[in-house]
Amino acid sequence: MDTTLLNERIRHFYDQSTRIWLDTWGEHMHHGYYGADGSLKKNHQQAQVDLIEELLRWGGLKNASNILDAGCGVGGSARYLAKRFGANVIGLTLSPVQAEQGVRFTKKAKLESRVKIVARDLMSLSPADGPFDLIWSLESAEHIEDKKRLLEMFYDLLTPGGQFLMATWCHRNEPPALNTPENALLEKLYELYHLPPMVSIKHFEQMAVETGFREVQSGDWSEAVAPFWNAVIRSAISWRSVAGLLRSGLGTMKGAWAMRYMTRGYRMGTIKFGVLQGKKL
């Protein structure tokens, strides 16, 4: 897959769709957490904040001072982490529209001195851009084709003792091999959400170990987050959201249509919400 073309498609998709997703999802553009088995009842905005807190708890993170939010959207996590730890945070997004909105939210929160939201390709970073003691990657790694290189870059950017925390879309572990209906569903998602092929949680864990990370752990939080898509679908069918979808263009409407494939993928057990962590010792 041509990385430049892929990035252009991703950038265009989020430039077009960000305003409607801000109306539907709020500034946290990621899944929510509904308890380990997905049974807790809560509004999806609270569930999104709870996902951040649960990922921090799972990672055992007590403090951080310099943070990279790798794939920050409009910077919801970046601002949350800055306030949570009193940290300096840099957030990167491919979308200039997301960066513009992120700067607006950051000014409103009076966090300009500690949070920087920048439109930049995450994979263009070098060690000179660091170091960071925490790299936070919340539902962005699925857009990166060379996932091993992504982890290697994280390693290079971290301070000794630094940690990365990641949540990302995956497919189920193999064996058995993905079957024809599963591959067909994944291909639909790749097309509609502009994704390179996914990998399994176990594959991600193996790559992290091979990169040199220590204390590598992974988990499957699919049950915990699966209710989120039905909550978003209910929000998206409001008259306000429907009108916004019609204004935002064909790509965004296709992205909204792809929600049905996500819910089906969770039901089938094909789509997994993977979490991963590791430390540079």
pLDDT in tens, 239-272: 354 444 445 554 444 556 577 888 899 999 999 9
As a dihedral over the C-alpha atoms of residue 169, residue 19, residue 86, residue 83, rounded to 10 degrees, the angle is: -100
CB-count burial class (<10 Å; 0-12, 13-18, 19+) for 281: exposed
> Phi first, then psi: what are they for 161, rounded to 5°?
90, -5
Q: What is the CA radius of gyration of the chain?
A: 18
pLDDT in tens, 184-231: 999 999 998 899 999 999 999 999 999 999 999 999 999 999 998 877
CB 220 within 8 A of CB 273: yes
What Cα–Cα distance (Å) separates residue 231 from each residue in 32, 45, 182? 10, 10, 24
Q: Which of 10-19, 82-91, 106-115, 121-130 has the lowest mean pLDDT?
A: 10-19
DSSP summary character for residue 173 = P
Domains of the chain: 3-279 (3.40.50.150)
Q: What mean pLDDT do residues 38-64 have?
A: 95
What residues does 171 pair with on adjacent strands?
200, 271
What residues does 136 pair with on adjacent strands?
69, 165
What Cα–Cα distance (Å) separates residue 119 from each residue in 63, 239, 266? 26, 31, 31
pLDDT in tens, 58-96: 999 999 999 999 999 999 999 999 999 999 999 999 999
